[in-house]
Copies of this chain bind each other. A is one copy, B any other.
Amino acid sequence: MSEDTALKLNGKLWIELNGSKLVGPGRVELLERIRDCGSIRQAALQMNMSYRQAWQMIEDMNTRLDAPVVISQRGGKGGGNAVVTEKGEMVIVEFKSFYKKFQQFLSKHSGSINL
């Protein structure tokens, strides 16, 4: 019954394109929030992230994939808006599938650390 909760297995997971990070948990959460509130700024605020960083993440995915994950407009009603595309939805679904399996992997092996 030796339960050592202090020792655990942990890690990070991401999808990379041409050797550098493209999608991780943070970017996926950002996409989900943009989808739900229609604004990059509001999504960033919700995540306590700077707008600058959020915009850079979106811009990075938009330019490196063959189709944009978010289409945004400035000006107009509400000052502007942002919409997650079908490609963006694919990114969300695909990564979350991998990530769930990864978390299962971690918790599956986390109990058997013997140090």
Contact = CB atoms under 8 A, between A and B. Distances in A.
A113 B23 CA distance: 12
A94 B65 contact: no
A9 B17 contact: no
A77 interface: no
Nearest to A87: B115
A7 interface: yes
How many copies of the polypeptide does the oligomer hold? 2
Given A9-B98, A102-B11, A65 B16 contact: no
B65 A90 contact: no
A105 interface: yes
6 contacts: A7-B22, A9-B13, A9-B15, A12-B12, A87-B115, A94-B114
Interface of A: 6-18, 22, 65, 87, 90-91, 94, 98, 101-102, 105, 109, 113-115
